[in-house]
């Protein structure tokens, strides 16, 4: 099936690693123009060159920098934007008693700014597209909180709620808004935690134990490409009647009905 993404332009935040990088590659494969950002220039450079790829360093918490990045992205591809993937971020492994006031403030800032800054910057351009789509990369923690990730779980729930409000409000401008909720996906987040855990276990064994401990029905962590596929499907004009919803990409984690 032709997803109808060719020659359209998409902004993906945090495209230098993991889920963002897999999404950038999937969109390029579909013939789309892609703009992406991250904070580390070297990591962005490692994506490689492509004539339909624009990259710039930008921290999504900095509204002015995000405005400049989004404007430069539209300019790079003929002044248009058809979609936005709010992906940049990371989680915070903290329980209630280890969490400082700054942790709460920083986590809420990252999660809300990570959606609102790019959206506000892109809104005018998205409103001019005939098939505008926003995808917020979220976590199943939004629906199934974990005490060891208390700030991230609470912030994720807020973002899922916000996504619904945005879908309702932006429908009048023809902008669809959806979420993908991730379980455990094998990216830099987990390689860093494996290194920090210093368990002595090889990464593959450590991952298998992690999947079993967290109750992942499929018995393994997900791959970034498996998430990118869901994101690209939601960006596609073919998904024109899907808004205000979320897709779990989580290998069947947990026993509740998510
Ligand atoms: N992997 C999982 O199991 C999992 C589960 C649930 C949710 N998620 C969410 O999925 C998203 C992607 O995560 P991932 O697993 O692919 O992580 P990753 O491999 O660590 O990639 C994160 C990307 O975001 C960028 N980034 C981080 N903070 C940023 C900021 N403030 N401004 C701009 N760019 C920033 C990073 O580049 P720089 O560091 O150079 O800025 C990198 O490109 C995140 O929002 C994460 O919380 C992941």
Q: What is the pLDDT of residue 255?
A: 77
pLDDT band at 57 (very low <50, low <70, confident <90, very high): very high
DSSP designation for 135: E
Q: What is the pLDDT of residue 91?
A: 94
Residue with tokens 């026993």: 255
pLDDT, tens digit, for every residue of 150-167? 999 999 999 999 999 999
Q: What is the DSSP string of 153-187?
A: HHHHHHHHHHHHHHHHHHGGGTEEEEEEEE--EES
pLDDT, tens digit, for every residue of 203-215? 999 999 999 999 9
Distances (CA, A) of 102 to 65, 98, 130: 23, 11, 42
DSSP designation for 253: B
Q: What is the pLDDT of residue 254?
A: 79
Average pLDDT of the chain is 96
Residue 8 to residue 128: CA distance in whole angstroms? 12
* 3-state DSSP assignment of residue 9: strand
CA-closest residue to ligand 1 atom 27: 89
Cα 43 from chain centroid (whole Å): 17
Residue 21 to residue 23: CA distance in whole angstroms? 5
Residue with tokens 């998205």: 126
* Rounded mean pLDDT, 4-29: 98
Give the distance (Å) from ligand 1 centre to CA of residue 105: 18
Pocket test for ligand 1, best of 58, 67, 89 (most atoms within 8 A of CB): 89
DSSP designation for 91: -
What pTM does this model have? Answer: 0.97
Residues 6+ apart with CB under 8 A from 49: none
* Rounded mean pLDDT, 59-65: 98
- Distance between the two ends of the chain, CA-based, in angstroms? 29
Closest ligand 1 atom number to CA of residue 57: 33
Pairing of strands 175-182, 246-249: parallel
Pocket of ligand 1 (CB under 6 A): 13-20, 37-40, 43, 59-61, 87-91, 137, 139, 182, 184-185, 187-189
β partners of residue 34: 10, 53
Task: List b or e across 185-217, with b for residues whose CB sees 16 or more CB atoms inside 10 angstroms.
Answer: bbbebbeeebeeeeeeeeeeebbbebbeeeebe
Closest ligand 1 atom number to CA of residue 221: 3
pLDDT band at 186 (very low <50, low <70, confident <90, very high): very high
Residue 171 to residue 148: CA distance in whole angstroms? 36
pLDDT, tens digit, for every residue of 79-116? 999 999 999 999 999 999 999 999 999 999 999 999 99
């Amino acid at each position: 099936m032709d997803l109808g993404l060719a020659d359209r332009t998409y902004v993906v935040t945090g495209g230098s690693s993991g889920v963002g990088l897999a999404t950038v590659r999937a969109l390029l494969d579909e013939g789309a123009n892609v703009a992406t950002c991250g904070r580390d220039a070297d990591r962005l450079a490692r994506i490689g060159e492509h004539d339909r790829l624009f990259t710039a360093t930008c921290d999504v918490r900095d509204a002015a920098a995000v405005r400049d990045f989004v404007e430069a992205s539209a300019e790079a591809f003929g002044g248009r934007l058809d979609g936005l993937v709010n992906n940049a971020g990371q989680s915070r492994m903290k329980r209630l008693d280890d969490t400082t006031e700054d942790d709460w403030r920083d986590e809420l800032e990252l999660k809300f700014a990570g959606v609102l800054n790019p959206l506000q910057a892109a809104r005018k351009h998205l409103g001019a597209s005939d098939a505008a789509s926003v995808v917020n990369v979220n976590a199943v923690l939004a629906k199934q909180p974990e005490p060891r990730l208390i700030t991230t779980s609470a912030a994720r729930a807020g973002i899922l709620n916000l996504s619904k409000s945005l879908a309702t409000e932006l429908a009048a401008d023809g902008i669809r808004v959806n979420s993908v909720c991730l379980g455990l996906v094998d990216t830099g987040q987990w390689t860093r935690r494996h290194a920090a855990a210093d368990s002595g276990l090889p990464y593959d064994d450590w991952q298998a134990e992690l999947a079993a401990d967290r109750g992942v029905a499929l018995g393994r962590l997900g791959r970034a490409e498996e998430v990118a596929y869901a994101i690209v499907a939601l960006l596609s004009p073919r998904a024109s009647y899907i808004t205000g919803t979320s897709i779990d990409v989580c290998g069947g984690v947990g026993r509740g009905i998510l």
